[in-house]
Amino acid sequence: MLFFEGSEKKIEVVLQPGQPSLRQLEREYWQQVVAKANATILSSVHNEECDAYLLSESSLFVWEDRFLMLTCGTTTLMDAVVSFLEQFPADSLAMLSYQRKNEYQSHLQKSSFEQDVTALQQQIEGVGYQLGYLDGHHNYIYHLDRPYQPREDDATLELLMYHINGDTAQYLRSDNQTLEGIRQRLNWEALLPGFLLDDFLFEPFGYSMNAIKGDRYATMHITPQENSSYVSFETNLEGEAAALVLNALLKTLQPDSYDLISFNQQLQLDHQPGIICVDQATQPLSCGYTMRFSHYLKPPSAERSADRLSL
């Protein structure tokens, strides 16, 4: 059984005013940071406000005063964070948050969330939360425990989808897929008009995408394996623009279940008939955001056979 851990770890850092521009750091600097996580930079796109790097395991976005990095698989994102904090210690930070989703096979990871937090606590004083049931899909967050006032338009959405179905899901697992074919099926031209797109098709399958427009971003990562499929989409689009994309992805990929995670934004999705919300939590954070977590599930309509293990 071919398996890849799609679940991501995520770091977001905002610098205090007066710090040097992160965009002025050499590409080699970010290559070294990414390498600490056991990942590499595959390609990049740039505009007047953001540098977006597509990684061998997910993505890195760099603005003047902040950066956002996601890594999947068995990457060691915390090693990259510690490396960054050697140059930008706690007193240079306005905000830091570290997020990690539970994994399908956590025993294969190089570290646990608790071990990551222990390493981070050597650098900053923070507070952590778990949103979602421990025996189901859940999300951890640890953040710098310091007052911070986000910009009014600083709001993000994460849609995490599990066990995708339908024609597009089958295409993503097929031998004849192409980048152009995936773009057409996901309808990026209509959903992200005016965005600069950078994407990559992995072997034997797997898809990653970054898109930027001004200071707005979107990123998607697809692990389509039939028995452990996982898709993540994240953006700082708001309102109708965000709802348009998320609703389209749900309709196209038809997941059996999915999480909606938001920071300083509430969004009502057009859930398909029969979908139920089985878990939800809201947590105000001392770093200025309100984090919301909801898990949605399509009840099984028929008994499934067991998955045979490759022993």
Inside any domain, residue 307: no
Inside any domain, residue 306: no
Among 59, 221, 228, 295, which one carries the catalytic annotation?
Answer: 221
Q: Do the Cβ atoms of 248 and 187 come closer than 8 Å?
A: yes
From CA 160, how far away is CA 145, in angstroms rounded?
A: 26
Inside any domain, residue 107: yes
- Residue carrying structure tokens 């109708």: 240
Q: Do the Cβ atoms of 259 and 294 come closer than 8 Å?
A: yes
pLDDT, mean of residues 103-109:
55
pLDDT tens figures, 3-59 = 555 568 899 999 999 999 999 998 899 999 999 998 999 999 999 999 999 999 889
Count of domains observed in the chain:
1
Determine the structural domain holding residue 201 and report its residue range.
Answer: 9-297
From CA 217, how far away is CA 211, in angstroms rounded?
A: 6
Q: Is the pLDDT of residue 310 over 60?
A: no
Among 72, 97, 158, 295, which one carries the catalytic annotation?
Answer: 72
Inside any domain, residue 57: yes
Inside any domain, residue 310: no
User: Could you confirm whether 72 is annotated as catalytic?
Assistant: yes
Inside any domain, residue 56: yes
Please tell me the pTM assigned to this model: 0.92
CATH number at residue 201: 3.60.90.10
Q: For a pLDDT cut of 70, what percent of the chain falls above it?
A: 91
Q: Is the pLDDT of residue 71 over 80?
A: yes
User: Could you confirm whether 8 is annotated as catalytic?
Assistant: yes
Inside any domain, residue 265: yes
User: Could you confirm whether 203 is annotated as catalytic?
Assistant: no
Inside any domain, residue 311: no
